Structure 1
Amino acid sequence: MSTNNPRFPRELNATFSKTLRSKVSAYFKNNNTNRNANGAMVTKTIVMLSLFFVPLIILSTGIISSVWLLFLAYLIAGLGMSGIGMGIMHDAIHGSYSKNKKLNTLLGYSFNLIGANDAVWKVQHNFLHHTFTNIEHADDDINAPFFLRFSPHAKHYWLHRFQHIYVWFFYGISTLSWVTAKDFIRLKRYKKMGFFNKKHEFSKVLMAMIGWKLLYYSYALLLPMIMIPLAWWIILLAFVSMHFVTGLLVSTVFQVAHIMPDNEFPLPGTKGNMSDDWYSHQFNTTTNFAPKSRFLSWMIGGLNFQIEHHILPDVCHVHYKNLTKIVSETAAEYGMQYNVKKNFGQAIVAHTKMLRLLGRPQLAIN
């Protein structure tokens, strides 16, 4: 089956988006606010940037000589890194942080400051994931290495029966892999797919990527190794622990929103046509969780409201909670499903169950 360029029919539920957009616009007008960042978002931005950079600045001064303080500083920086990834750059690169494109671009560079790359992310996340959610080969978020299976259409191997046990380790090292090799691999692959093909674009992105990563490793690892009077391997281990915290939190949050028993993994027909319209597809492949947890929502950039994020990516996440009633009621009006788990723990249990199901050869649609 062709999954290179899936196409969604526009005639189905043609009025849904107009109805939803009208209700959302009315909400912002009636509340005399806009869909971009507010004061709370600005405060969060300062807090998350501080959580990441302040511990690293302290480490770079060399005043810390205690092993446990070293690990504590890196772990706090890991929480800050997670917050930057999910709560600052995510909105900025979607263009929802501000109406000012230059400000969005500037804040999007915060992703580069934590070792990743904004240009590659735009292709992977904004285009491939948001457009083709849970479609095998098209959604890069479920295109996993052979030892992980995130779709019933992916090839099944015997070791997948244990993936619900070992997947958490790979979630933990995901961002470390990301900032070292994965960005380069994806950049090369995306060029073959037709991205970064403007004159000198690929080389410019590659050179910028190398420069940003050298800067990141310089202040996040090399400078502490030079300044802190501890063995290099201890500092390296603490650095890895920072990434493990970030990787485990970020990967879990993103994956429990889509790799769930209630979510669908549809494929296009032989001509690349999908059976559902794009909005129905987003509801069918996405799950919210912990809608009442204000702290979790604050910490993970509102990504517990993943449905609202997927269908309203141009709205800053600080507004998602207040829009859930509008979205869920409009979905019900048009006969669309609205998946939600009561809390984060319930979502993780369901995600683990799905990983276990995907590990069985019986759940193989190859």
Structure 2
Amino acid sequence: MSQHIKFSKSSPDFFGSLNKRVGEYFKINEISRHANRQMYVKTIFMFCLYLVPYAFILSGAVSNLWLLTLMCVIMGFGTAGIGLSVMHDANHGAYSAKPWINKLLGYSLNLIGGNALNWKVQHNVLHHTYTNIHEADEDISPRGILRMCPNSKWLFFHKFQHIYAWFFYGLLTLVWIVFKDFMRIIRYSKDGMLKKQKADIRQEWTILIATKLIYISYIFILPVILLSIAWWKILIGVVISQYVAGFVLAIIFQPAHVIEGSDFPLPDDNGNLENNWAIHQLRTTTNFAHKSTFFSWFIGGLNFQIEHHLFPNICHVHYKKISEIVSQTAEEFGLPYKNVTTFRGAILSHARLLRELGKRPAVVPVVSN
């Protein structure tokens, strides 16, 4: 479906003016759009948050079951931290002006069990281009157990999704590692998405399988060999770590687009959308918790989701500053700039929309095959 969607070419002045003003901000202040010292320190911190507890576990220095569990939980936060604050910028080409650095740090996703190529297609191409468009944006496309879009098929159990969704959010990365990465590389190959990325399918299959084996080897097999702990307890530890990571990632990304006030636009019969790409991003995206400094630091500035969607190639450490430019320009052009004051408020708004989407619609949408 995404291949036939066309954004409107009307009202180009907004993004033209915004892009010029943001460019002037970096030029006048003589700063790079990419990572700075703050970002380098954060990168080291996030990798330590993941690797230090792993080293403690592997050394055998920690034997108490509760302390081992705590180490796994910390590793989960480290996994989320690498994903939100390092891998995310790198795979957007925003971490460095040098492509090889972005590519290297982008593969940190493979280090923690995922796959960089699949993520680039699903996130950079489909989600960032076709945000909140039914059957084009995989983040809100039909997924059976959850109904994230008013145009998705309704099933009777969706009326409880505002209750059970939180449990399934924790399974996010586990599903990616075990199932989705394999299904996506097959699907993206068949529909031509990998060809558009100029990817060598044999090479990408080799990378996927090799890095999955490396991940399984160091996260599971090595502890089984070195530690006098039952294999099933180690497996539980891995699941705990990934569950924490999946839950953190889900509750950060979902309120940015699946929240009260978000638009879910559909193209007309000819594939045309009402707005141009930049205005589309404003209408489908919401910021939250602008004033929470540590929270914003940990989640890679993704509470400034509007800035991220409009300028994904700018490192997130600059989002707070350029948010002033974006909000002022949007107001000047009479366009929405959606913001929820607190993270709690954003989560509650997300929950309310889940409940609303869980209600049986007057006319149940029919999902085309």
What's the TM-score bracket when you normalise by the shorter of the two chains?
Answer: over 0.9
Match of residue 255 from structure 1: 254
The amino acid of 1:222's aligned partner reads I
Taking only aligned residues, the RMSD between alpha carbons, in angstroms, comes to 1.5
Deviates more, 1:63-72 or 1:301-310: 63-72
The amino acid of 1:92's aligned partner reads A
Q: For the structure 1 residues 154 and 227, does the alpha-carbon distance in structure 2 shift closer, same or farther, using more than 3 Å as the test?
A: same
Partners of 2:103 and 2:172 in 1: CA distance: 25
Q: Does 1:308 align with 2:307?
A: yes
Partners of 2:31 and 2:146 in 1: CA distance: 44
Match of residue 104 from structure 1: 102
Percent of pairs identical after alignment?
A: 47
**Deviation at residue 348 of structure 1 after TM alignment:** 0.3
Output one character per residue of 1:211-253: Cα deviation in whole Å (capped at 9) or x when no partner.
0011111111221222222222222112111111100010111
Partners of 1:232 and 1:343 in 2: CA distance: 42
Structure 2 alignment gaps of length 5 or more:
none
Partners of 1:299 and 1:221 in 2: CA distance: 27
Q: For the structure 1 residues 278 and 363, does the alpha-carbon distance in structure 2 shift closer, same or farther, using more than 3 Å as the test?
A: farther
Partners of 2:330 and 2:194 in 1: CA distance: 37
Q: Show structure 1 runs of 4+ deviating over 3 A.
A: 197-200
Match of residue 22 from structure 1: 20
* Residue aligned with 2:128, SS: helix
Aligned length: 364
Q: For the structure 1 residues 94 and 352, does the alpha-carbon distance in structure 2 shift closer, same or farther, using more than 3 Å as the test?
A: same
Match of residue 130 from structure 1: 128
Match of residue 147 from structure 1: 145
Corresponding residue to 2:52 among 54, 70, 93: 54
* Residue aligned with 2:287, SS: strand
The amino acid of 2:255's aligned partner reads V
Q: Does 1:184 align with 2:174?
A: no
Match of residue 170 from structure 2: 172
TM, length-normalised to structure 2: 0.96
Output one character per residue of 1:176-213: Cα deviation in whole Å (capped at 9) or x when no partner.
11111111111111112212248982222112101001
Contact 1:9 1:278 in 2 (8 A): yes
Corresponding residue to 1:162 among 154, 160, 163: 160
Partners of 1:364 and 1:260 in 2: CA distance: 22
**How is 1:1-366 mapped onto 2 (pairs within 5 angstroms)?**
4-10=3-9, 12-197=10-195, 201-362=200-361, 366=365
Partners of 1:365 and 1:105 in 2: CA distance: 44
Structure 1 alignment gaps of length 5 or more:
none
**Deviation at residue 4 of structure 1 after TM alignment:** 4.5
Deviates more, 1:152-161 or 1:195-204: 195-204
The amino acid of 1:280's aligned partner reads I
The amino acid of 1:268's aligned partner reads P
Contact 1:63 1:228 in 2 (8 A): no
Partners of 2:90 and 2:200 in 1: CA distance: 22
